[in-house]
Amino acid sequence: MLITENGCCGRFGSIVTNYYVEDKVKIVEEKCLNKINKSCGVCIKKCISNAYENNEFNKFKCYEVCLENVEKHKDIGYADVCGKCLVGLPCSSKDPHGK
């Protein structure tokens, strides 16, 4: 999950390319309250797949549940994402630090 000044509820895409990009990554401060001082953890409690193990997100466990949902709901189209852990959080629509 990426928490921006506008929160974490959003979707980013991916582009796969062999184009060289200079390494000019801007270092951004951590915005997750749970990672900073363990004062939150709401997303961990909301995760229906229990994909957070030892405070680490297990993307394979999460995706496994998403693929199970694909099988259950084939009639409405392919959707291999969940997002339930991103709803109703202190960081859903804003920076939780209030900056």
Report which listed range, 24-33, 75-84, 88-97, is most confident. Answer: 88-97
The band of 26, judged by pLDDT with boundaries at 50, 70 and 90, is: low
Q: Give me 32's structure tokens.
A: 């997750």
Residues in the chain: 99
Mean pLDDT score, 17-46: 81
Cβ–Cβ < 8 Å for 90, 42: yes
Q: Taking the model in full, what pTM does it have? A: 0.67
Residue type, 2: L
| Cα–Cα dist 19/49, whole Å | 36
Beta bridge partners of 7: 4
